[in-house]
């Protein structure tokens, strides 16, 4: 019998050895926790399609952020959920200094200051009565350029509230450049932009739309990317970087790992990926049915995103995983 000269299994023989040679390791500081805050709530409200996640009251939002900071999470992303009577055709509450999102930003900054990166979603979809990411033209399409003017004003409102980083998520052409110029002119040169550079019109956003009580009519295929397109993602990303994006993001994460890898080979700015609500809910549902090991599936999914080239991961498990990693390492 001929025995092998090379035995890679030697480096897998124990947990200590495997830990020593692990090539890809997720760190708590690279995780960002998305949080929903609902106008008018006095206590958190469960999101049925996202087990373990809630719409926060202003007070419970403060506690969730404190817990995230204590666990070592690198950042939070805040989404505001207005009441239906505060939605309108142009999403005006998103620009209002006293709207739920801007109030929540101020709450969080007052609570944790600079101890984590406070990010805010810069898009109108949660605030519009039709649920689209911008102002509708008479023919029902989203008017790109009219929407840009509102994004500029919204960005300044969020920076004024204290947000450290703005997540330009609407997929309007030119949005990063317009927001960057508005921020600079208003004296917010140090406020960063996280560009949702490659945001796909995929099938994994359903639970999120429940979480933000979306009023969406129709779909967003006119402005979000087609799932079949990869070269387009490179073009969109390079445009955002040229317009001043500090970080670029791919969304969703797991169905588009190849896009993350392509971008990692092309750009020098940090790359983020968003493990979206559908990805979260699929794992939670399968685990609840006893079909998969929940903790292992969570960590494996995050490791695959990191391995593909993402430096930053937005995930609803951020606080939980940060605590797990702290205990493990």
What gap in Å lies between CA 124 and CA 69, rounded to an integer?
A: 28
What gap in Å lies between CA 156 and CA 153, rounded to an integer?
A: 5
Nearest of 283, 272, 282 to residue 312 by alpha carbon: 272
| Strand blocks (E) in 7-58 | 31-38, 45-46, 54-56
What gap in Å lies between CA 83 and CA 99, rounded to an integer?
A: 10
Q: Is 251 in the active site?
A: yes
Burial class (CB in 10 A: 0-12, 13-18, 19+), 160: middle
Please give the angle made by the CA atoms of 41, 320 and 25, to the nearest 5 degrees.
140
Q: Indicate the DSSP class of residue 252.
A: S
Sign of the dihedral through C-alpha 199, 202, 207, 211? positive
Q: Which residue has the tokens 């898009």?
A: 123
Catalytic residue among 38, 87, 181, 251: 251
**Terminal Cα-to-Cα distance of the chain (whole angstroms):** 41
Burial class (CB in 10 A: 0-12, 13-18, 19+), 268: exposed
Catalytic residue among 38, 63, 87, 199: 199
Q: What are phi and psi of 9, to 5 degrees?
A: -65, -20
What gap in Å lies between CA 219 and CA 260, rounded to an integer?
A: 24
How many helices (DSSP H) and strands (DSSP E) are in the chain?
11, 10
Q: Which residues are catalytic?
A: 199, 251
């Amino acid at each position: 019998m001929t025995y092998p000269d090379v035995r890679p299994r030697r480096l897998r023989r124990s947990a200590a050895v495997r830990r020593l040679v692990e090539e890809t390791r997720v760190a708590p500081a690279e995780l960002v926790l998305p949080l929903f805050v609902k106008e008018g709530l006095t206590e958190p409200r469960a999101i049925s399609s996202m087990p373990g996640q809630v719409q926060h009251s202003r007070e419970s939002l403060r506690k969730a952020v404190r817990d995230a900071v204590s666990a070592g999470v690198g950042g939070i992303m805040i989404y505001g959920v207005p009441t239906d009577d505060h939605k309108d055709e142009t999403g005006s509450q998103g620009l209002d200094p006293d709207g739920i999102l801007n109030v929540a930003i101020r709450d969080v900054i007052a609570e944790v200051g600079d101890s984590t990166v406070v990010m805010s979603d810069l898009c109108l979809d949660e605030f519009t009565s039709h649920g689209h990411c911008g102002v509708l033209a008479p023919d029902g399409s989203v008017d790109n350029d009219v929407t840009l003017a509102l994004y500029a004003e919204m960005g300044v409102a969020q920076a004024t509230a204290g947000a450290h980083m703005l997540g330009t998520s609407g997929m309007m052409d030119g949005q990063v450049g317009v927001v960057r110029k508005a921020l600079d002119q208003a004296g917010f040169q140090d406020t960063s932009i996280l560009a949702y550079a490659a945001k796909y019109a995929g099938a994994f956003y359903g639970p999120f739309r429940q979480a933000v009580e979306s009023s969406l009519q129709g779909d967003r295929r006119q402005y979000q990317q087609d799932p079949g397109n990869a070269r387009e993602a490179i073009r969109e990303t390079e445009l955002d970087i040229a317009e001043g994006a500090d970080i670029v993001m791919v969304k969703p994460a797991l169905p588009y790992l190849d896009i993350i890898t392509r971008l990692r080979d092309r750009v020098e700015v940090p790359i983020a990926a968003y493990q979206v609500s559908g990805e979260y809910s699929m794992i939670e549902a399968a685990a609840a049915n006893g079909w998969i090991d929940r903790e292992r599936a969570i960590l494996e999914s995050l490791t695959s995103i990191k391995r593909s080239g993402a430096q930053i991961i937005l995930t609803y498990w951020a606080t939980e995983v940060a605590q797990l990693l702290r205990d493990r390492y």
